[in-house]
Structure 1
Amino acid sequence: MSNDPTLWSAFPIFSITAVCGAFLAVLMLIMCLLMYSKQRKKAYIYMAAAFFFIMTYESLNIHQAFSGHPWQPSGTGMRSLQLFSFILLNLSVLLLYRRIRKVHYGLPAITAAMLLAPLFLPSSINPVWPDLYLTVIEWVVIYLSFSKIAPRIGQRFKYSLGLSIYSIWASIHIIYKYLSGGDKPGLPLQISAVLPLVFYSIIFFILFQRIIELMQSIYRSSITDGLTGLYNRRYFMKHLNHYVSNGTKISAIFCDIDNFKMLNDTQGHAHADEVLQQVATIMEEELDGIGLTGRYGGEELVAIVARKGSRVSQVAENIRFRIAEETIVTVSVGYSTLRKGVTADSLMKQADQAMYHSKSSGKNRVTDYRSIRAGSRTSNEAANLGSL
């Protein structure tokens, strides 16, 4: 936006965009401060500072528009303020995705000193030189943002689009200042007044999407196991209780990796963790679309089969077979189907008992809890007959 106050009365679009820019800056400032109070992430405080300066800059523009009195110091001061907010915005976008070294946290102070330097030059200096100095800094920042920041963040296209829009705005003003002499602002200059507002809006959407990503990541980490990516025990049992309370016909599968302690002792924890991840991946693939999986504890992995028409015996056997074929370990598997009057905890205990039966009877096999019950009932009946 031009810093010539006479333009504001001639072209109301400058006043309108200044009001919109100040309003957006206030919203972003409040949003960043709220996020910083929750997460203490430096990116939010840097972005809050950037939008504070944008709010100040646009407020001064609004003052010029409606009072007709230029702010002093005129062009150079306004230009330095606007450029400093632009630099802070780009740095904060980088901090949303990457950590920087502590030594780099002094960059804003160094930049501020560089931008304020023209204000202290003797009045005898040609006024063109301070503006040219700031223009060079601006294009260096644009270049560094494209080459160093854009490749390192998650929303590269959106951020590059915003930088391109800002670059168009900066280019139009170079043409106006140095080629047109600044005497007759035409349609391109009027239209360019909207471009900084578009740039701020894109930064807003980048921030908003990043906040959503972080929230999803936090939520995901609270319900999943960090090593395997499966649901943790608390979340798994929550879902299991939900199914049971709704009377959904489900089955629980309980898997325990055979000789896992020996694997840890002989090949190391790192290799054992890789094997555990492989087993977890196989279980996720076999349960995809028909249920969910979880890590119950240690090398114990569990699953719920909730889809109608899915045979739990076949699912359990597929898991056992694939693990034996595709990894260096085997698993003992047990499963149980929900019956009336059985709680979620009882269902898991039944599947656990079936798994222990598999382990105690040779490992690398699948056991149905009903077969254990039937065997126990037969044994009890035989004992009763023998006592007669």
Structure 2
Amino acid sequence: MFTELRNPNINNYDKSSAPHAGGRTVFTFKNSFKNAILNINGGGEFQEGYTTVSVHKNVNGNADTLRASDDINNRQQFLFAQASLDVKSWTIFTGASFNTFRIRFQRFVPASLGKQTRKFNNEIAPRFALMKKFNRVNIYTSVAKGFSPPTIAELLPTGGAINLGLNAEEGTNYDIGLKGIFFKDIYVDINAFFFSLKNTIVQRRDAGGGDFFLNAGKTKQHGTETFISYPLLLSSQNFKRSLLYVSHTWHKFHYKDFKQLANDFSGNQLPSVPRHTVSSGIDILMNNGLLGTITYFYSDKIPLNDANTQYASSYHLIGAKIGFEHWFKNKIRIKAFAGVENLFDERYSLGNDINGFGGRYYNAAAGRNYYAGIVLQFLTRK
């Protein structure tokens, strides 16, 4: 795999090329007992990447004077094993993975003392889950521990300074939930979770607009996520598909222990995460090929800095789409559509720069905008 990126930003013009290779192997075992079925999976994965990054002065959106040039070699490998046991209406899951991650930098411009290496080793991530089946409803619970090493973008941010002092995030997640069909046609999926995270990586902005990252102590994140859908108009012969859906998230994420110099942010809400979001819509496809979609999205206000002194306002978005699709000889499908996003031209900020220097948090989102398209598919129907 090969990735090439050109990124003009407020501070620099970045160029990167990243060839990447890896492999994965999986072994499976299955055995049936009198009242149980045992499944075991195990294996390993290896990935290695070689990234070349050059940072230039940005002049009117074009790369100018070279400011920095780096070679980056990252290697990640892990072993994993997991098992599931089905006993009548119960299913038990258990598993674990053993992870290592190593990243190596060498800066050529400006000249440095040589290669710098950071290793994140011997991280074991276990998981246990239990599920009970009741006719058309499943109830489950799980506990899992994991870790997430810093990404290349966090270790080498647009601010330009190599930061090998970042530690991997480590967390433990507990959740409980249910999903299934109620009252014949109503699908419900509800999950409640509690996530405790150490060494949380947070973003900062310097005076020049470049970003940098640091570990922010401990955070606690708990909330609920709900999705409900209902197929409308199934009794009508005019409709091929009709679905009404709504989803809601409630996220109470806050710093448990985070002090930076003379500032104590412990107890504050985690920036960038709204307390509530709602997404809903209606999706209809008629037998004559006419289709239509109406969507709605709401976001609660969003804290923009660790001190919680600035918030992006809440906003509502409505979108609509109409179209037509048709099959030709059961092999060719043509679909034409047109739609509008942000129907009521809501003013809001999207992709906020969290902890922006000097209060530079906001990025204006698109107002009312329109789109249209044609999709042509060649398929074989059996």
**Alignment TM class, shorter chain as reference:** under 0.3
Bigger Cα Rg: 1
Q: Between Structure 1 and Structure 2, which shows a larger proportion of helix residues?
A: 1
Structure with more of its chain in strand, by fraction: 2
Higher relative contact order (CA 8 A, sep 6+): 1
TM-score relative to the length of structure 1: 0.19
